[in-house]
Structure 1
Amino acid sequence: MPPADLDADVSPRQQEIVTRVREQGFVTIETLAKMFDVSPQTVRRDIIRLDEVGLIQRFHGGAGQRENTTRLGYSQKRDTSPDGKRRIALACAALIPHGSSVSLDVGTTVEAVAHALLDHRRMHVIATSLGAATLLADSQVGDVVVTGGLLRGADGSLVGDAAIAAINRFRVDTAILACSGFDDEDGSVMDFDVLKVAIKQAMVAQARRVILVADAAKFARSALVRVMPFEAVSIFVTDAAPPEHLAQRIADAGCRLVVAPAEVA
């Protein structure tokens, strides 16, 4: 069934585009053209029409949900793209060798990564959120250090000087970071909370490599605070090919792009 608020003049294909956008957050023109076996120009016209009636928002290379600077609540984030986050987590965990050291950011995608690391052994984990730390508690992963600091928000994030001081004590092999979106102009990694951004930047400074994890819903969103340029990211793991302008920015920065494979039924 199509969403109840769809315009009566919207075609069945356009209805399906709206449904896909609402389920995934962002869908590329290329993906939609293959899905419907039509030309990219046809999809582009559909997206323009749907943008005009206010059902979705047109972006470079695809379509996303409107109000792309809206900050989602923690419960909303947990319900957004759960399959994509699981695929991202598995692909990310495959890049982490046993016996290595990692620092874990806050967020539902990073929590999925923490869950995917449960089969790893002899690890040294620095957790900057209670969510990730709780998932690893009483496991056989290895040593888990919780940074401490000021507890901020329903996601269990730990921020402030004490948290940064704890991060600065360790030099880790890999920092695993999440974000809220990307800058529309230069593709910078973006987030909303200045205190959380300070934690992310401290993690980057103390890591030999940085893995950024974000689902495709983030492609069409921006935020308020710049975290880092893509030059600071070693590997970007996501669940769908980014739109052309963002993919080009990633390539120009020398960042490795990993698109998590679809799950086999």
Structure 2
Amino acid sequence: MTLKANDRRLLIAEHIAGAGEVTVDALSVLFDVSPETIRRDLTRLDASGDLRKVHGGARPVRLHTENSFYERMSEDAQAKHSIAKKLFSEVHEGDTLFVDTGSTTLIACAALCKIPGLTVITNSVQNAQVMADACNQHRVFLLGGVFSSEASQTTGALVLEQIDRFQADHAVLTCVGMDIAAGVTNANCHEAEVARAMIKRSE
């Protein structure tokens, strides 16, 4: 049965929200309509704010955008150093830590590396480097997965599988915001998956 145009557009918006960026050709095959019909649908959905058209397809609307990793390093620096100082008092020699990617966790690692004998499991190349360079005999595990050069991090299914092999005393995580209703939030769904997995495997 052929879908009505409004029903098809609703399903297109739902599909892209879940799948991420999708091409016109893929949507044409999925919904069994011409590429021209899909382009018209995407134009309507873009105008209504349900998605964003890109060259050759469409992607979900990003409700929040972050500055680059290096820009974030200088934002709220005093608060980030205060967090690092607090973490230093909570972590003890010999502890095992999950540490995800973020400007706050990188500053935290610069403080935590002074504590002897830590085991650190991280998806951040920079965090791994800071901990490995310290002269305190840390064990550092860098999780392998899909690499992003912008934040020097790995994400994806392989990272999640590896996290499940460890048990940690603490999870040192970054976030984008906190809300009474929504709780702790992150602008990147892949980073959020990593954080959830680390929390699950921490005491």
TM normalised by structure 1 equals: 0.50
In structure 2, the CA distance between the partners of 1:89 and 1:141, relative to structure 1 (3 Å rule), is farther
Specify which structure has the higher proportion of strand: 1
In the alignment, structure 1 residue 146 sits paired with structure 2 residue 146: no
Letter in 2 for 1:169: R
Sequence identity (%)? 23
Residues 38-70 of structure 1, C-alpha deviation per residue, up to 9 Å, x if partnerless? xxxxxxxxxxxxxxxxxxxxxxxxxxxxxx934
Q: Which structure has more RCO (C-alpha within 8 Å, separation ≥ 6)?
A: 1
Segments of 5+ residues of structure 2 without an aligned counterpart are 1-62
What does residue 118 of structure 2 align with?
A: 123
Q: 1:76 corresponds to which residue?
A: 71
Structure 1: state its 5+ residue gaps: 1-67, 209-265
Could you list the per-position Cα deviations for residues 21-53 of structure 1 after superposition, in whole angstroms to 9, with x for gaps in the alignment? xxxxxxxxxxxxxxxxxxxxxxxxxxxxxxxxx
Partner in structure 2 of residue 174 of structure 1: 170
Aligned-residue CA RMSD in angstroms?
A: 1.6
Inter-partner Cα distance in structure 1 for 2:116 and 2:195: 25
Please give the per-residue CA displacement for 1:154-204, whole angstroms capped at 9, x wherever unaligned: 111210111111111001110111101123x51510011111111111101
One-letter amino acid of the structure 2 residue matched with residue 107 of structure 1: G
Aligned residues of 1:157 and 1:196 also touching (Cα < 8 A)? no
Relative to its length, the structure with more helix (as a share) is 2
Whose Rg is larger?
A: 2
Q: What secondary structure is seen at the aligned counterpart in 2 of 1:172?
A: coil
Q: Residues of 1 paired with 2:64 and 2:162: CA distance?
A: 31
Partners in 1 of 2:140 and 2:188 — Cα distance?
25
- 1:175·1:204 contact (CA, 8 Å) conserved in 2? yes
TM value normalised by structure 2: 0.65
| Cα distance between partner residues in 2 of 1:81 and 1:141 | 31
Q: Which stretches of structure 1, 4 residues or longer, exceed 6 Å deviation after superposition?
A: none
* 2:154 corresponds to 1:158: yes
Q: How many residues align?
A: 140
Alignment check: 8 A CA contact 1:125 1:142 kept: yes
CA contact (8 A) 2:132 2:138 kept: no
Task: Give the match for residue 98 of structure 2.
Answer: 103
